[in-house]
């Protein structure tokens, strides 16, 4: 995984006790190569929608934006804990081995884009063309 502006931080609330967060203002990108088999996948992003900011995040595949959303639920606390934890699901995403997946976002206020995980679940084979 390449982290441009993100750092890995230890936090007991996160899975594996680790998460990534932005280190400053402006755009940040975390990217990694998709290493599993070609197919249709559902993606699930675990992150922390804190109450003291409205960060913005895009999910890209090979540079194409497939999702963009603002962290404006602000339902939980202003820090990382179980009340600020949120999930975003993207369904039926076609992925090929070697695709570049990127999380590109801008922190806001006291919300530094704390992301716990991005997982993918195989749904189906790619359609035959
Ligand atoms: Ca928020
Ligand atoms: Ca905060």
* Residues constituting the chain: 129
Does a structural domain hold residue 97? yes
Domain encompassing residue 86: 2-123
Has residue 1 got a pLDDT over 80?
Answer: no
Inter-residue contact 4 to 102 (CB < 8 Å): no
Nearest-ligand number for the alpha carbon of 77: 2
- CATH assignment of the domain containing 104: 2.60.120.260
Å from CA of 123 to ligand 2 middle? 35
pLDDT at 77: 96
Å from CA of 26 to ligand 2 middle? 16
Does a structural domain hold residue 41? yes
Does a structural domain hold residue 129? no
Does a structural domain hold residue 58? yes
Å from CA of 58 to ligand 1 middle? 15
For the stretch 35-90, pLDDT in tens is: 999 999 999 999 999 999 999 999 999 999 999 999 999 989 999 999 999 999 99
Does a structural domain hold residue 128? no
pLDDT at 2: 84
Å from CA of 75 to ligand 1 middle? 8
Does a structural domain hold residue 53? yes
Counting the structural domains of the chain, the total is 1
Q: What are phi and psi of 66, to 5 degrees?
A: -110, -10
The predicted model scores a pTM of 0.92
Å from CA of 48 to ligand 1 middle? 8
Give me the sign of the Cα torsion angle 104, 98, 9, 44.
Answer: positive
pLDDT at 129: 79
Does a structural domain hold residue 79? yes
Angle at 17 between CA 110 and CA 39, to 5 degrees: 95
Å from CA of 83 to ligand 1 middle? 12
Nearest-ligand number for the alpha carbon of 54: 1
- Proportion of the chain above pLDDT 90, given as a percent: 89
Query: Strand 100-106 relative to strand 18-22: parallel, antiparallel, unpaired?
Result: unpaired
């Amino acid at each position: 995984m390449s982290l441009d502006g993100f750092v890995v931080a230890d936090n007991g609330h996160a899975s594996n006790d680790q998460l990534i967060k932005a280190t400053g203002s402006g755009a940040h990108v975390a990217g990694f190569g998709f290493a599993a088999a070609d197919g249709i996948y559902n993606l699930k992003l675990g992150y922390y929608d804190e109450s003291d900011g409205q960060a913005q995040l895009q999910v890209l595949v090979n540079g194409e934006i497939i999702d963009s959303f603002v962290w404006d639920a602000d339902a939980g606390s202003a820090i990382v804990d179980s009340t600020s934890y949120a999930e975003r699901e993207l369904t039926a995403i076609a992925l090929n081995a070697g695709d570049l997946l990127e999380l590109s976002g801008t922190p806001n206020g006291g919300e530094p884009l704390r992301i716990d995980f991005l997982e993918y679940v195989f749904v189906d084979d790619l359609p035959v063309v």
